[in-house]
Chains A and B, each alone.
Chain A
Amino acid sequence: MTQPMVSLRGLYKIFGAKDKDMVQFVKDGMSKDDLLAQHKHVLGLNDINVDMQAGEITVVMGLSGSGKSTLIRHLNRLIEPTAGEILIQGEDVMKLSDDDLRTARQQKMSMVFQKFALLPHKTVLKNAGMPLSVRGQDEAACDTEATKWLERVGLKGYENHHPAQLSGGMQQRVGIARALTANTDIMLMDEAFSALDPLIRTDMQDLLLELQKELHKTIVFITHDLDEALKLADHLVILKDGYVVQQGEPQHILLNPNDPYIEDFVSDINRARVLRVRSIMTHLEDGKIPADAHGEVDIDATLESMIAKSGGDTSHAYIVMRDGEAVGTLDMTALVRALVPRAAPEDGARNY
């Protein structure tokens, strides 16, 4: 396996005056509530170990208060960890001097914010060009690059507007253009689409996926929305009370939740729309293609499209194709079984 772009090793964050002294209590298994009650310190992050691969979208999901926004701010050290290592391309961010940290923030990581955080007194063009002008590039170069990325996110013609003249969705496009102008390998997106209304949010998700197909950035995306997480994630990390409940390939988590918290989470979503053929197919053995197949399907087709294709007949079976090559078979009975949540939540009661 190649070296991950970002890896977090044993990361702890405790808020309070004597945070360093509290780490040992947490390591010994003290809970968030007990730490607050007995020592008046708030546990933010608890033993986080996550690897983020280059070119992937890593989605960190959790409810509010789970520490996800705290986590993303550790990557560029907007928040200092209490203990642990933050490695970016194998280099420990914690060991950087102030100047080196600034350089790293300028050249390695860009960030998109929930509340956009644009400069209200500057035009859209100058906002998008800000990361380059911070590095001291001349104005013409900043403007050229900014114009290019504004056009790419669909804001051509708005260069001379001020942020306050744009809608929320358009402001966030400026935010994304700003991050892209920085031309960094890593993009940190802190609940970037949470402040937008649902239709605009879907547009922005599509825009992000489209850009990602082309640019292959390492994206760390924070969200509290499971549908958004499943749509975007190559690697999904689920946080609860500051610790990682489960992480892995999103389809895998959906089919094999290892915690009641996650089971409860995933029970509400439309599994047929999220799950894909690749997650439930049977791998082909010895290249034998069954003779009774009803047709060929793509490996990334959703189960919903499969149900439509089969007309609801569970006796059908299909050959799964990837790049024109048969790689597996799909039995409609297995498909129907996968649609049933592994453990139905008892009378819908949520107890987290």
Chain B
Amino acid sequence: MAFYEKIFSALGLKDWCGEAGDGAPLSMADLMAQANGGDAAANGPVFPFPSLDNLNESCATVLQSRDVTKGIENGFLAAKPALKSVLDPITQPLSWMLDGALWLFEVTPWFIMIPILVAISWYASRSKGVTIFVAVSIFLLGLVDHYDVAMQTLSIIFVCTTISVLLGVPIGIAMSKSDNLQRATVPVLDLLQTLPTFVYLIPLIFLFSVTESKLYGIAIILYAIVPVIRLTDLGIRLVDQDVIEAANAFGMNNRQKLLRVQLPLALPNIMAGINQTIMMSLAMVVIASLVSAPGLGVNVLRGIRNLELGVGIVAGIGIVLLAVILDRVSKAALSRVDMTRVKH
């Protein structure tokens, strides 16, 4: 006899409940208990928690917990055609960009690509140490035949970071202008940052086919866009109020204030956000290899799946090298931006 049956009877809900829950699908735990020859209810605690499953045993009309997950799934599947018809065309350019960048990074021969990368790091950092480090790292990756996969990873990061910045900076600016928008956006950003990264792969797999590159593109952008939004908002809000007052006193309009005062003064913070965005997209690109993202992550995955220790570790170190390269170059660029304001 289930514990809550008396309560339902006392409340006069016996009719509403109908026959006690025999017809309802069984939970895994019940099946196990039955297989062991025991009655699940009899072995249960004296005063069970009034959970949906326990109530369902007493009253069939009450939903089971699995109906909740089932409901979410069905709801999502019902909404899927509509969502897909909207999101598919919007996100299609992302596929093209990712595929294009991948193609570009792959067809460019190494003897052109490596000098370009070294030149970019010199231009961004203006630091001999950083530039030499970049050259040596790429050389080492090439030496162990990881040049191609490293370039694939780099191309994905390049596209995803660019899009994150292009979307994130305007969103951050809008947030800094409106307290209401900030209040509405912050919980979404918190959610994106704390939701386990695997979790948003699941609905994305339902929405897009696994063979499409935008699938991992979206997953990476959603995860990596957060810091650049946050730090743009923060940077603009932290701009010295005295300077803003001066800008007002000399009759600047909003556009002039934004372009001539707020954005330049917030630039160090925005750059710090971009640095974080690069790091986070690199972290995500490995997980995204689960949904067919090419690059170093694939080797890591192979290492895990086949327990190939060496393959996994070499690919892992390759990712660390890429991370250090990207971090040092973007940090050096950041400190250069800061230097122009206090040059003693």
Contacts and interface: CB of A to CB of B under 8 A. Distances in A.
Interface of A: 76, 78, 101-107, 109-111, 113, 115-121, 130-131, 134-135, 162, 164-165, 178, 182, 188
Contacts of A106: 250-251
A78 B248 contact: yes
A121 B343 contact: no
Interface in B244-269: 245-246, 248-253, 256, 260-261, 264-265, 267
Contact of A115 (B242, B261, B341, B343): B242
Contacts of B265: 119-121
B298 to A, nearest CB: 44
B243 interface: yes
B29 interface: no
| The 6 A-B residue pairs with the shortest CB-CB distance in the complex, in nearest-first order | A105-B251, A106-B251, A117-B246, A111-B249, A117-B242, A102-B251
Nearest to B249: A111
B71 to A, nearest CB: 46
22 contacts: A102-B251, A105-B248, A105-B249, A105-B250, A107-B251, A111-B250, A113-B242, A113-B245, A113-B246, A113-B249, A117-B243, A119-B261, A119-B265, A130-B250, A131-B250, A134-B250, A134-B251, A134-B252, A162-B340, A162-B342, A164-B343, A165-B344
A117 B260 CA distance: 14
Contact of B256 (A78, A120, A134): A134
A184 to B, nearest CB: 10
A110 B252 CA distance: 12
Name the interface size band of chain B. 20 to 34
Nearest to A116: B242
Contacts of B245: 78, 113, 117
Given A105-B251, A134-B256, A165-B344, A121 B246 contact: no
Contacts of A188: 249
Contacts of B342: 120, 162, 164
A178 B253 CA distance: 18
Contacts of A135: 251
B249 A76 contact: yes
Nearest to B241: A117
A134 B264 CA distance: 16
A144 to B, nearest CB: 18
Contacts of B246: 111, 113, 117-118
Contact of B341 (A107, A162, A178): A162
Nearest to B253: A102
Contacts of B344: 164-165
A71 B323 CA distance: 55
Nearest to A163: B341
Nearest to B264: A121
A253 to B, nearest CB: 29
Interface in B141-155: none
B192 to A, nearest CB: 32
A165 B342 CA distance: 7
A135 B250 CA distance: 9
Contact of A121 (B242, B251, B256, B340): B340
